[in-house]
Amino acid sequence: MAKYNNIVILTGAGISAESGLATFRDEEGMWNKHRVEDVATIQAFARNPEYVHDFYNEMKKDLIKVEPNAAHLAITELQKNYPAKISVVTQNVDTLHEKAGNENIYHIHGQINQAVCMNCGNVLTTWNDVTTEDVCQQCHVQGMFKPNIVFFGENLLCMNEVDALLRSCDLFVSIGTSGVVFPANTFVRTAKYYNADTIEFNLKATANNYAFDRHVIGKAGETFPKFVEELLQETKAVADI
Identify which of residues 59 and 165 has a Cβ nearer to ligand OAD in the complex.
Answer: 59
Least Å from the CB of residue 155 to ligand OAD: 12
One-letter amino acid for residue 21 of the chain = L
Least Å from the CB of residue 123 to ligand OAD: 16
- Give contact residues for ligand OAD (rule: CB under 6 A): 12-14, 17-18, 23-26, 29, 91, 93, 109, 149-150, 176-178, 180-181, 201-204, 206, 219-220
220-240 helix and 70-81 helix, angle to the nearest 10 degrees: 20
Identify which of residues 74 and 84 has a Cβ nearer to ligand OAD in the complex.
Answer: 74
**Residue with smallest beta-carbon separation from ligand OAD:** 14
Identify which of residues 29 and 49 has a Cβ nearer to ligand OAD in the complex.
Answer: 29
Least Å from the CB of residue 12 to ligand OAD: 3
Residues labelled catalytic: 109
One-letter amino acid for residue 185 of the chain = N
Q: Are 105 and 88 in contact (CB under 8 A)?
A: yes
CA atoms within 13 A on the CB side of 128: 4
Identify which of residues 24 and 82 has a Cβ nearer to ligand OAD in the complex.
Answer: 24
Least Å from the CB of residue 215 to ligand OAD: 11
